[in-house]
Structure 1
Amino acid sequence: MIESLRQFLNHVAGSKPEQETLRRLSHTLQSWSEELSSHSVDDSEQLFGRMMHIAGRAQPMIPQFVASEGDKSYVRGSVVFGRCFLGANGAAHGGAVSLLFDEVMGRLQYAASRPRVRTAYLHVDYRSITPIDKSLEVVARIVREEGRKILMMAKIMDAETVCAEAEGLFVILRPGQP
């Protein structure tokens, strides 16, 4: 369902349907929303954001990072920013780039079987256009750990071109902290 929703969002972003199609699709989407509303659960039970085996944790609005290698201190993989992440002129929206960095760094923390963290800060330097609809390399690594603080760095590459780099500080949650 999540993959179908991702595909749908990319088609929505790249289309200009006539009014009749818009009306028909709106009606269908409304009926799907009504059907799902009867399956509402507490956020601790929901699938959205909790399916770690699916790229993006089953959140269709997170760019799909697919890890290819890594260990407890780094991860390398790829991402394709779909059409729904378009800023303008073939470039991914800067907010989508930041979202990807936050996701990848958080996943690195999770993959290393470390405690849950929150982002304290995320600094992104946009170096070049981050293209959509193209496989890009993503690398993230843990730079330093000091008590509850974890400093990470990451970058997105289009072949030899650095599209964006990020530094993130993450703080391990205290027991019981949401």
Structure 2
Amino acid sequence: MSRDDEQQRLIRSQWDTTKATGNKMWQQKRRLADAMRLVIERLVPSNAPEDELSRAADALERYAEQLKKHPRLKKVMGHAESANAGDVGAFFDQSPLIGLANPLAPPVTLSHTGEQTAEGAVTFGSAYEGPPGSVHGGFVAAAWDEVLGFVQSLGGNPGFTGRLTIHYRNPTPLHTELRFKARILRIVGRKTFTEGEMYAGDMLCAEAEGLFIAAKPGRLEELSKAREALEERLSGS
């Protein structure tokens, strides 16, 4: 296997957050995040009584204070773009779009279908509602940023989002599996051009085009140092 082939295998493996982890802490972190997703999903439309909500809030506030006592994890930076770097436990599992250990993530799942093509899937619940019964367009755009960010990384020249254009064709339904198809159009120097479509069943909901630009030498190191400084400040607060 060539060095380039090995790099591509590693990139594809890193993006697969659905694979089992042998780390007991991360297993429980994923479990807790999943439980928190359920709380968010069920709280938004709930008409629970005041006393029950108060007890739940008290319990969560106590646990938030408990978490504050533990040291913060450091993420490992490797490539540019949200979640396009590091190992599963240190970066991908914490992604706000695909991270199974991040309760904000729906989560989106991703897989490559060819050398420069990929697919994704996600189901947005009630917490993501915008128009009645439909996903808020901002979350659709965020999902597209992650999907196109994944497919552009397959070209071996991963970069930051330079431009993201979304064409909303139909309202995107809640509680429905959405399927993404994405591909690299061309690579020109530091620029990678991508496009894709998102479907709910046979209905085209949105199309997207993305331009990604590889970071200049030293830029990622600058961002990593800035993040380390932020972590030190947050740890001391």
Same fold (TM over 0.5): yes
Task: Tell me the percent identity.
Answer: 28
Deviation per CA, 1:36-80, whole angstroms, max 9, x where unpaired?
A: 112242542695753289x71233323322235523311113211
1:8-157 to 2 correspondences below 5 Å: 8-41=39-72, 43-44=74-75, 49-51=91-93, 56-58=98-100, 59-67=102-110, 69-110=112-153, 112=154, 114-157=156-199
Residues of 1 paired with 2:63 and 2:115: CA distance?
Answer: 40
Query: Deviating runs (4+, > 6 A) in structure 1?
Result: none
Higher share of residues assigned strand: 1
Deviation per CA, 1:24-45, whole angstroms, max 9, x where unpaired?
A: 1111111121121122425426
Residues of 1 paired with 2:90 and 2:139: CA distance?
Answer: 18
- Offset of 1:116 from its aligned partner? 4.1
Residues of 1 paired with 2:111 and 2:73: CA distance?
Answer: 33
User: How has the CA–CA distance of structure 1 residues 16 and 72 changed in structure 2, closer, same or farther, with 3 Å as cutoff?
Assistant: farther
Residue type at the aligned position of 2:171: I
Question: 2:214 maps to which residue?
Answer: 172
The TM-score normalised by the length of structure 2 is 0.66
Higher share of residues assigned helix: 2
Query: How many pairs are equivalent?
Result: 176
Deviation per CA, 1:72-103, whole angstroms, max 9, x where unpaired?
A: 31111321111211113110000110010011
**CA RMSD in angstroms, aligned pairs only:** 2.5
Specify every segment of 5 or more residues in structure 1 that has no aligned partner in the other structure, as ranges.
none
Specify every segment of 5 or more residues in structure 2 that has no aligned partner in the other structure, as ranges.
1-31, 77-87, 224-237
Residues of 1 paired with 2:152 and 2:203: CA distance?
Answer: 26
